[in-house]
Structure 1
């Protein structure tokens, strides 16, 4: 498998980033969904949010790298079997996935730094607050974070179902290309 994308397949870097982001998004969603019901006396009351914030910051770094990678590494062409509507829907869905990921990360950052605190990333480094203390910001950012993460997970689920539809019903190489196995041998 090649490192860079070709005109017909994704390279190993694009495939690895895609799956890393997918696992991180669903993992963060699951952790966030679980930790909101933790009580003050639960052992995970502080640990869960610390992990959630740390992985979120690392995901931001991965997503910034992903954007740079895409600028210098064009995507493979759409498959000839895809209709114009499918191509447009895929581009729209991918763009919206990117927007929702960045909105979720920005709002999560604003929740955590609304009191002027920095975010410690696994005690490796700290990300300072750029806003200082803003009264009520954590509530507004919390609503944005809640709805953007739900929208992100629902859209990612639809995205996965579309890939499965292409694989099982259309029997094309859409999913195979993102699994890194390239074109089907005829």
Structure 2
């Protein structure tokens, strides 16, 4: 890793006030905390949405819905990779602020983000040990639903009908003499 160095040429930098320096570190730490919280929320939403889709797929015996659970897993994995990449960049900024190699009070991660590749960040232990098992379990459940659907369809082939139906009809007529039908008179 290379550190961003202050410009070599130019006027000497004025000494940094200790209170300003600590406040700058607090700002950077607040961003790191917010990014870590977003990462935590991504994991929660990934589990919630994928388990809801898998539960629905199991109850309806539809493997396509279980397969669709891979979409939020992949989307949240990518989004969580973004947040972790940003968090690592801000940790680098924090180190430079703490070592007093960063003299201006900007919080710009653009020069630091390029140090952390997307693919390497996405394969990090904290992400791959969470999202990969979630994806594997989803694939296993999808496979089980596909296999159970094939055996269920083979076992429930309707047998040819061998019974016959006979329709019989009987009619009875009753006649009563000397009675009048009831009327609805008010009392």
After TM superposition, the score normalised by the length of structure 2 is 0.35
Q: Which one has a bigger Cα radius of gyration?
A: 2
* TM-score relative to the length of structure 1: 0.35
